[in-house]
Structure 1
Amino acid sequence: MPTTTSVEELKTQIKRLNSKAGQMKMDLHDLAEGLPTDYETLIEVATATYEIFREIHDLKQQLKQQEQAK
C-alpha cells in the first residue's frame, strides 16, 4: 500500500513541473510566433516541452494508481 508521503511527493513534483511546463509552453508559442526567426532552436524547444508534458502525464498516472490503491 502506498504511503501518504509518496502521494504527496508526487503531487509536489506535478505542481513544480506544471509551473515549469507552463513557461516552456509560452516560450514555444513565442518562438512559433516569431518564425522564421530562430527556427534553428524550434526542434530543441519543442522536444524539451514535449518531454516535460510527457513526464507530467506519467506522474499523474502514477498518482492515480496510488490513490486508487488506497
Structure 2
Amino acid sequence: MVQVTKTAVNPDINELKTQLKKLNSKAGQMKMDLHDLAEGLPTNYNQLMDVAGQTYEIYRQIDELKQQLTKLERGQ
C-alpha cells in the first residue's frame, strides 16, 4: 500500500490568509468611500473623520495580520 503524505499547512496560516483576503476587500471599499467623500468636499465633511478612522483601523489590522503571517511562515 502506498502512503500519500500531504504537506501540512498550519491552520493558523490559512486562517490568517483568509482574514487578510476579507480585510483587503473591505479596505478597498473603504478606500473608495474615503476617496468619494473627499471628492465631494465640503459636502458631508462631518463624515470625514468617521470614514477616515474606519479606513485607518482596517489598514492597521491588515498590517498586524501581515506581521503575524510573516512570523508564522518564518517559523515553518
* Same topology, TM > 0.5: yes
CA distance in 1, matches of 2:48, 2:17: 30
Amino acid at match of 1:58: E
| Structure 2 alignment gaps of length 5 or more | 1-8
Q: Which has the bigger relative contact order, CA under 8 A and spacing at least 6?
A: 1
| Structure 1 alignment gaps of length 5 or more | none
Equivalent pairs counted in the alignment come to 68
RMSD: 0.8
> What residue in structure 2 maps to residue 55 of structure 1?
61
Amino acid at match of 1:20: K
> What residue in structure 2 maps to residue 14 of structure 1?
20
Computing the radius of gyration from Cα coordinates, the structure with the larger value is: 2
Identical residues among aligned pairs (%): 63
CA distance in 2, matches of 1:15, 1:57: 12
Report the 3-state secondary structure (helix = DSSP H, G, I; strand = E; otherwise coil) of the residue aligned with 2:23: helix
Normalising by the residue count of structure 2, what TM-score does the alignment of the two structures yield? 0.88
**Per-residue displacement from partner, 1:42-67 (whole Å, max 9, x unpaired)?**
00000000000000000000000000
Structure having the larger proportion of residues in helix: 1
1:9 CA drift (Å)? 0.1
Please identify runs of 4+ aligned residues in structure 1 that moved more than 6 A.
none
